[in-house]
Amino acid sequence: MKKLLTGNEAIARGAWEAGVRFASAYPGTPSTEILENMSQYKEVYSEWAPNEKVAVEAAIGASIAGARSLAAMKHVGLNVAADPLFTFAYTGVNGGMVLISADEPGQHSSQTEQDNRNYAKSAKVAMFEPTNSQEAKDMVKAAYEVSEKFDIPVMIRMTTRSCHSKGIVECKDREEIEIKEYVKNAAKYLTVPAHARKLRASLEERMSKLLEFSNSIDLNFIEWNDTKIGVVASGAAFSFAKEVFGDTASYLKLGFTNPLPTEKIKEFASKIEKLYIIEENDPYIEDKVRMLGFDCYGKNLFPAFGEMTPDVIRKAVYGQSNETIEYDKNEVVSRPPSFCAGCPHRGFFYELGKRKNVMVSGDIGCYTLAFDEPYAAMDTAVCMGGSLSIGHGAQKVFNMKENNRMRVVSVLGDSTFLHTGINSLLEVAYNKGNTVNVILDNRITGMTGHQQNPGTGYTLQGEETVEADIDKLVRACGIKNVAIINPNDLKLVKDTLDWALSLDEPSVIITRWPCVLKKFTEQDKKEFATAFQSKCRVDDEKCVGCKMCVKTGCPAISVEKANKKAKIDLDTCVGCEVCLQVCPVKAIGKVES
């Protein structure tokens, strides 16, 4: 049976066909759809974890218990999950365990462009790199065989293009793999130093066997054409290279890339006149080729950052780009990303942006957009959960200065707080900080597409479960000054910020209002009964064209060319009433939906 699948869908299909029983992940572009698709296979238990480290640890537990397991994440998620991965490489598996790392060449939606192939090398785990959806599915199945044969976790490195591009995939039936017996074995799974030293030696033996395997596996293959030009490539870069060179070059296609097939590289490179190493981001393959003694064109010719595309390759090799249709770029109006109409973050940042002598320590989520105009209400964003601890460190230094007037407001979302923000808040409370800490609780994991989290009260499958109480969590961390507010009430936001900034001890403000795009639960309907039940309209007779409403940044509001007065698109407006509150002449009123 053939299906048209994205790479992420193919990963899920491959795991299902391979008999996987357990899958865990934390959502993050471009990996999110892997677990969403896994959840559609009822034979696989799938769950959202609070963060990537927990996802990997849960998959490790499932593996030790005897089941084939999978953990999926975006590339920066592996920074969080690195600790258990490195140790599990030492212990090895019981049931096969595969980790999917979705890298982001070009940084479409990420704060870094790190190349996670370096993690596979450093942690000493096996690694596959699919080029297309068919390979993604097939390599997942192969990865479980490798994992169990060589007693090692396996990483599959995807990229944005291989995750989201579609291709025809030949699908097969599921292979039911019996859960292996669990046998207590502290020498294998309990890594006290006396055990770990032996496991370290064992890991080197396993990697030596994997090197032999890498040189023989048919996923690493040579395609001989003209030997004047030779290309070594992996992943999506292989397709791009084929598009540029066609049959005018010979190819060494690498699908299994840790350890790299040294003998096959020598066989290929020794017969090539001009050798190109085409890979995205770091010179991972190139470094090995040069170490083997071969001269080549790699990062001295191709960029070490950004996406590799056929045009990038063509320009680097031939000095020319593909012909494209020219257009007048001045005629295209820029459309930067912005908060949705009715987004509960807008009112809060509208008020926060007015503050002077305030550093806003931000985080990763929809709310990061507050850095831009018209709010200019965010100064830093480093990593998930980092806002609170980064803000704490900054405030400690500001407090060292005489006559200090600088205050820090740290901001993160509900899912981010539950991801890695709790430890950061403990840091603030335990070390007697005095930052203002804001948790924007929009009742869902918004930016990645409305995934459930421990604070929503529902599992990945939509089943009711316990709901983490953020208010109680905050107080349990030692915070005494806590306020829960409606972020659309601008006076309340202003007064609460005034209160929090007047304190010389830590405080937490929880803004609680649902994302405007969220599908309401029965609980939401009760708690937020008035949400999105009206719209706003401008009275042309009263409007003076001051544009104060425009400064709220709502995409439903525009200015009429003819009369220079504000206009609200009733199809877009959801009645958050932020514009109504900022209008100085009361020209905006409510209209019942």
Q: What are phi and psi of 500, to 5 degrees?
A: -65, -40
Say if 324 falls within a structural domain: no
Is the pLDDT score of 25 beyond 80? yes
Same domain, 45 and 171: yes
Band (331; pLDDT cuts 50, 70, 90): confident
Same domain, 97 and 131: yes
Rounded Cα distance, 34 and 71, in Å: 10
Is the pLDDT score of 333 beyond 90? no
Q: What is the CATH number of the domain that holds 166?
A: 3.40.50.970
Whether 477 has a binding-site annotation, put simply, is no
Band (387; pLDDT cuts 50, 70, 90): very high
Q: What is the CATH number of the domain that holds 579?
A: 3.30.70.20
Same domain, 421 and 438: yes
CA nearest to 148, candidates 203, 93, 199: 93
Q: pTM score, two decimals? A: 0.95
Same domain, 200 and 225: no
Whether 573 has a binding-site annotation, put simply, is yes
Same domain, 77 and 146: yes
List beta partners, residue 166.
6
**In this structure, are residues 194 and 32 in contact, taking their beta carbons and an 8 Å threshold?**
no
Is the pLDDT score of 334 beyond 80? no
Structural domain that includes position 439: 344-527
Say if 335 falls within a structural domain: no
CA nearest to 95, candidates 56, 60, 57, 67: 67
pLDDT digits (tens, 9 = 90+) for 89-120: 999 999 999 999 999 999 999 999 999 999 99
Same domain, 444 and 572: no
DSSP 227: T
pLDDT for 328 = 77
Say if 499 falls within a structural domain: yes
Say if 16 falls within a structural domain: yes
Is the pLDDT score of 592 beyond 80? no
pLDDT digits (tens, 9 = 90+) for 421-479: 999 999 999 999 999 999 999 999 999 999 999 999 999 999 999 999 999 999 999 99
Same domain, 20 and 165: yes
Whether 583 has a binding-site annotation, put simply, is yes
Same domain, 17 and 153: yes
Same domain, 285 and 167: no
**In this structure, are residues 292 and 91 in contact, taking their beta carbons and an 8 Å threshold?**
no
Domain boundary among 484, 509, 527: 527
Same domain, 350 and 436: yes
CA nearest to 8, candidates 109, 127, 176, 159: 159
Q: What are phi and psi of 7, to 5 degrees?
A: -60, -40
Say if 337 falls within a structural domain: no
Domain boundary among 269, 300, 318: 318
CA atoms within 13 A on the CB side of 51: 22
Domain boundary among 494, 527, 560: 527
Is the pLDDT score of 553 beyond 80? yes
Say if 338 falls within a structural domain: no
Q: What is the CATH number of the domain that holds 265?
A: 3.40.50.920
Whether 549 has a binding-site annotation, put simply, is yes
Say if 325 falls within a structural domain: no
pLDDT, averaged across the chain: 96
pLDDT for 337 = 86
Whether 171 has a binding-site annotation, put simply, is no
Helix (H) or strand (E) holding 50: none
Whether 543 has a binding-site annotation, put simply, is yes
Say if 323 falls within a structural domain: no
Same domain, 187 and 102: yes
List beta partners, residue 30.
none
Q: Report the domain count for the chain.
A: 4
Length of the chain: 593
pLDDT for 329 = 73
pLDDT for 239 = 97
Q: What are phi and psi of 409, to 5 degrees?
A: -115, 120
Whether 296 has a binding-site annotation, put simply, is no
Lowest mean pLDDT among 138-147, 289-298, 313-322, 388-397: 313-322
Same domain, 409 and 448: yes
The beta strands (E) that lie in 433-490 are given as 436-441, 481-485
Whether 383 has a binding-site annotation, put simply, is no
Provide the token pair at 48: 């959202």
Is the pLDDT score of 593 beyond 70? no
pLDDT digits (tens, 9 = 90+) for 29-68: 999 999 999 999 999 999 999 999 999 999 999 999 999 9
